[in-house]
Amino acid sequence: MRKAFKHRLYPNKEQEHTLFWTLTRCRELYNAALSERRDAYRIAGKSVSYYAQKRDLPEVKAILRPEYQGIHSQVLQDVLLRLDKAFKAFFRRVANGEKPGYPRFQGRNRYTSFTYPQGGYSLSEQHVTFSKIGTIKIKLHRPIEGKIKTCTIKYEAGQWYCVFSCECEVPEPLPTSAEEIGIDLGLLHFAALSDGTFVDHPCYYRKVEKTLARRQQVKDRRKRGSHRREKARMLVAKAHRKICNQRRDFLHKQSRKLVKQYQTLVFEALQTENLVQRPKPKQECSHKELDEQTHLCPHCGVVLDRDTNAALNILRLGRSQQSAMAVEAPVFRQGVLHRKQAARDEEEHEQKTRTSEWLERSSLLAHGENG
């Protein structure tokens, strides 16, 4: 399995200038390759493949853009591969009848990372060395597991990060449990569980909403293109980054807690696009508006919080679907499916049993004739 390890980089001014320069050159190559593909199809009706653009890279580096020689060759190849993935996703969405989303040109605030796909980097305890860039200080706040496959340098709101994608062994499964839980995303709480407990919303955004609004107003008053506006924009980006990190930490901790405790988790398949239409929610036994927070069943008289009742309904539906999809459990040996092998072993055992019975009968008959 693949697992990503994200660590903070601490480049000096010269190294940061080199990182920004590399990002800009990669973004220019991405936009140029996208323009080539688009123009080739519009003018000649032909499509340019990833391998055709990859073969042209040495000529581009030697004649058209000699500054690309200051960038590792595999980094440039990965830029073209990234564009190829974008086109493949575009054609897949077209084939599935989804909203196509044609690959777009990347601005300087949208293209924020580049990747060493195979080599060109080496890691030590406190430093990481990149080809054509140099040795940069890194903070390894957690050990890296498995074998490193790719290394991505990413820029996020004034900070640089190094993301190692590693091939790790499959972790041992958690101990089995008989507990099941239904989960409903609530209105007053972040989530309501079918056992009657609630997960309160941390409201990270609400806590800094005034600060964020004030920083946004300061940014809007600054002149476009000025250094003061760039500083104000960075303050807004840092506030959003902190909210994002807090939310991610909260979600990881809560999900880990649920996975460790319960064997089966049942969620509602929410359609985010339909939530914008603001339909009137309905529950079994009663129909309630959004301001009604208590569920009272007119048949059995049970009184529950509406979100708890929804979680119970979700759990009930999950159990019914689980029983409908239940099949005979296959036989596993060392993590590999061996249902056919088990059937063959059973057939071979029966054949041996029949053979031994036939031999016993034959020996008895022979003994009787001799007697």
Burial readout 87-125 (b: 16 or more C-beta within 10 A, e: otherwise)? beeeeeeeeeeeeeeebeebeeeebeebbbbeebbebee
Residue 203 and residue 139 in one domain: no
pLDDT the model gives residue 370: 47
Residue 184 and residue 158 in one domain: no
Q: Which of 167, 200, 216 is the last residue of a domain?
A: 167
Mean pLDDT of 348-365: 57
Least confident of 45-49, 155-159, 258-262, 348-352: 348-352
pLDDT the model gives residue 321: 77
Q: Which of 113, 135, 167 is the last residue of a domain?
A: 167
pLDDT the model gives residue 181: 87
% of the chain at pLDDT higher than 70: 77
Range of the domain at 191: 180-273
Two tokens, residue 134: 């140099």
Residue 162 and residue 246 in one domain: no
pLDDT the model gives residue 266: 86
Residue 151 and residue 193 in one domain: no
Question: Total structural domains in the chain?
Answer: 2
- pLDDT above 50 for 286: no
- pLDDT above 70 for 184: yes
pLDDT the model gives residue 354: 60
Residue 88 and residue 47 in one domain: yes
Per-residue pLDDT of 93-102, as tens digits, reads 999 999 989 9
Residue 235 and residue 119 in one domain: no
Confidence of residue 309 (pLDDT cuts 50, 70, 90): confident
Give the contacts of 198 (CB within 8 A, at least 6 positions apart).
186, 189, 190, 191, 192, 307
pLDDT the model gives residue 348: 65
Confidence of residue 338 (pLDDT cuts 50, 70, 90): very low
Choose between 361 and 48: higher pLDDT.
48
Rounded Cα–Cα distance for residues 331 and 273 (Å): 42
Give the contacts of 105 (CB within 8 A, at least 6 positions apart).
31, 34, 35
Residue 317 lies in a domain: no
Q: How far is CA 183 from the centre of its chain?
A: 21
% of the chain at pLDDT higher than 90: 50
Residue 13 and residue 162 in one domain: yes
- pLDDT above 90 for 250: yes
Choose between 298 and 125: higher pLDDT.
125
Q: What is the pTM of this model?
A: 0.74
Mean pLDDT of 332-344: 48
Per-residue pLDDT of 123-149, as tens digits, reads 988 999 999 999 999 999 989 988 999
Rounded Cα–Cα distance for residues 138 and 121 (Å): 13
- pLDDT above 50 for 337: no
Best CA proximity match to 171, nearest among 3, 321, 370, 368: 3
Residue 288 lies in a domain: no
